[in-house]
Amino acid sequence: MSVAAGPRPNGATPDPEEDSEFQPPTSGGPWGRMVAPGMPLGRSRDFRGTMRRLAARLTPEVPRVLGVVFLAAGGVILAAFGPRILGDATNVIFDGLIHGGVGAVDFGELHRLLWAAVGLYLGSGALNYLAAYTLAGMVQRTMQRLRTDVEDKLARVPLSYIDGTPRGDLLSRVTNDIDNLGQSLQQTIGQALTNIFMLIATMIMMFTISPLLAAVAVVSIPVSVGIIRFITVRSRVRFTAQWRHTGRLNALVEESLSGHTIVKTFGRQREVEQRFSKTNDEMYRASFGAQFMSGSIQPGMVMVGNLNYVAIAVLGGVRVAQRALSIGGVQAFIQYSRQFAQPIQMLASMANLFQSGLASAERVFEFLDAPEQTPDSPPAAAAAPLPVRGRVAFEHIYFSYDPSHPLVTDLSLVAEPGQTVAIVGPTGAGKTTLVNLIMRFYELDGGRITLDGRDISTMPRAELRSNIGMVLQDTWMFEGTIRDNIAYGNSGATEEQVLAAARAAYVDRFVHALTHGYDTVVDDEGGVISAGEKQLVTIARAFLADPAILILDEATSSVDTRTEVLIQDAMAKLRSQRTSFVIAHRLSTIRNADTILVMESGRIIEQGHHNDLLAREGAYARLYRAQFAGVAT
């Protein structure tokens, strides 16, 4: 073991262009390298850019998109001939009644026309059904790919990003926002195609009946477009605010649920309720503004449609009186005029849903553009990796979470294979930071760390971490059986290996007291087992992984004194022939360590064996006496 100190090496100065939390540096630093440049979270994205990215997401579905277009067009064309044929049927009845009464009506022709109308509407319905079926598959496949990309992105963002982002807001982006986007696309794409084609087909049919009346109807289009544009531009910002407040509310709820025991213990329910009420009110105001603004489109469209209908009815009556248009023609045209207004109203109402989906898409794309960790270097050769001996060397390393506040400066040390290195020091000294750097949870600002002489920055993270076992004071368990949680350390382990690890970590002592034994279902809240028993399970998980390097971060903080003695014995066996880093606040647990490092302000100020450090009467001795002062008295 060696420790060196010296001036900061050239090139280790932080990049002056490095920014704060949401503006990551281009290289180095806790954020790692930003692979996918993009807009930091929380900023508004360009509307057209979001639209282009949505269109790009649908590119793999182009054949199906074209299929939906043709099916929707076919369904609209068939339906568009319906009013014209019904108008002809009306003329057959009217002409028969005028020329000779009911007996003069050509019922054969009437039946033919009516059956033709029925056939057209049935055919239109079938095509629309196929279009909706194809569209549903297309949208859901797109959302499936988007969710996959989000999951892959989660694996590529650095730990610092996860630590600096509210969990509830992040969950809202990858669940609520994607669901909302999928629903918006599902409802708007099909309806938009159908209504646009309906608008065009209806306009054509109206011009074939009466160009004058059709021209009157067409006047409503620019008026409607103007109203829609005026409102949607203003509602877009409100929808973005609505989903932003939704993420904040989710973050608050997630925080309150995770810490509900602490909240109740300290009697802070009232404060939590006040914070929730404030955030809920902000969300209400944002949602009310978005829904009211976008909802005002529909009444405007109805008013324009009704005025247009009145104008057509009056002018159509005049044309019939002038014998320039037949009764059946007027009937057909009035039906077309209602059909003509309906697509405009539907497109306007869809603007509400589309704006909401667009706001969600923007939030998802913001996450996909978040900075990523430095990519793994490509392997130099296909040869199998050599067995890891466990020699870890820190060579003049520099690191800080914030460039303006250096944490670790010019630290050097060497841990030989099989050694147990204990790291002690006051809170904030940099103890946990060291092991995070070994795991490459964060990237160095300067210097390097080697494993058996190999720079870990050149090693694939999966290869590096497969040789390291880690037991933290903050235990984590997924929903599953105790057996499954132990086997998480080695997915290929046999039943006997799992049980052997459980016995080594003294999990076996309490499992048999449970009704279902190793098949007892637990989750991250622990369920039927205590915090100390959860910690034993995580230690068993590390036993099963059988790593070359072991990191113990206050691994016995939640166990009682008697169990701690057993665990210390078990961990002594686990550390055998392994390089071990032990972070400890309870100094009684590290007396037998090969080397004890005393850290302060990111630097190693003392090192040595327990008795030697006590004899020096330095920082370690002061920590030791302060911790055991109560015991001595």
Query: Is residue 425 domain-shared with residue 342, that is, in the same domain?
Result: no
In a domain, 394, yes or no: no
In a domain, 275, yes or no: no
Query: Is residue 330 domain-shared with residue 472, that is, in the same domain?
Result: no
Mean pLDDT over the full length of the chain: 77
At residue 25, the pLDDT reads 34
- Interval 472-480 mean pLDDT: 79
Query: Is residue 351 domain-shared with residue 498, that is, in the same domain?
Result: no
At residue 146, the pLDDT reads 92
- Interval 312-333 mean pLDDT: 75
In a domain, 239, yes or no: yes
At residue 633, the pLDDT reads 42
In a domain, 147, yes or no: yes
Task: Name beta bridge partners: 449.
Answer: 394
> Band of the pLDDT at 449, cuts 50, 70, 90?
very high
Q: Are 234 and 333 in contact (CB under 8 A)?
A: no
Query: Is residue 168 domain-shared with residue 96, that is, in the same domain?
Result: yes
- Tens of pLDDT, residue by residue over 122-131, are 988 898 889 8
Q: Are 76 and 124 in contact (CB under 8 A)?
A: yes
Instruction: Give Cα separations from 271 to 195, 250, 264, 266, 275 (angstroms).
Output: 50, 17, 11, 11, 6
Say which DSSP state 597 is in.
Answer: E
At residue 49, the pLDDT reads 83
In a domain, 15, yes or no: no
Q: What is the CATH number of the domain that holds 542?
A: 3.40.50.300
In a domain, 233, yes or no: yes
In a domain, 162, yes or no: yes
Alpha-helix runs per DSSP H in 469-546: 482-487, 495-504, 508-511, 531-545
Q: What is the CATH number of the domain that holds 325?
A: 1.20.1560.10
Q: How much of the chain exceeds pLDDT 90, in percent?
A: 3
Cβ-in-10-Å burial (0-12, 13-18, 19+) of 576 comes to exposed
- Does position 291 have pLDDT exceeding 70, yes or no? yes
Query: Is residue 336 domain-shared with residue 425, that is, in the same domain?
Result: no
Lowest model confidence (mean pLDDT) among 14-23, 187-196, 278-287, 309-318: 14-23
Residue type, 570: A
Query: Is residue 421 domain-shared with residue 342, that is, in the same domain?
Result: no
- Tens of pLDDT, residue by residue over 136-186, are 888 889 999 999 998 889 888 888 788 777 777 788 888 888 988 988 888
- Does position 134 have pLDDT exceeding 60, yes or no? yes
Instruction: Give Cα separations from 428 to 4, 180, 550 (angstroms).
Output: 21, 42, 22
Instruction: Give Cα separations from 58 to 62, 138, 357 (angstroms).
Output: 7, 8, 15
- Interval 595-600 mean pLDDT: 87
The residue among 368, 389, 404 that closes a domain is: 368
> Band of the pLDDT at 189, cuts 50, 70, 90?
confident
Range of the domain at 226: 47-250+283-368
- Tens of pLDDT, residue by residue over 396-432, are 988 888 777 878 888 888 888 888 888 888 877 778 8
pTM of the model: 0.64
Query: Is residue 94 domain-shared with residue 235, that is, in the same domain?
Result: yes
> Domain count of the chain?
2
Query: Is residue 133 domain-shared with residue 211, that is, in the same domain?
Result: yes
Query: Is residue 323 domain-shared with residue 424, that is, in the same domain?
Result: no
Dihedral pair phi/psi, residue 480, rounded to 5° = 170, -175
Query: Is residue 350 domain-shared with residue 422, that is, in the same domain?
Result: no
Higher-confidence position of 524 and 14: 524
- Does position 69 have pLDDT exceeding 60, yes or no? yes
Query: Is residue 480 domain-shared with residue 600, that is, in the same domain?
Result: yes
Query: Is residue 234 domain-shared with residue 128, that is, in the same domain?
Result: yes
- Tens of pLDDT, residue by residue over 525-550, are 656 788 778 888 888 888 888 888 88
- Interval 116-120 mean pLDDT: 86
> Band of the pLDDT at 22, cuts 50, 70, 90?
very low
- Interval 354-377 mean pLDDT: 84
The residue among 353, 368, 383 that closes a domain is: 368
In a domain, 255, yes or no: no
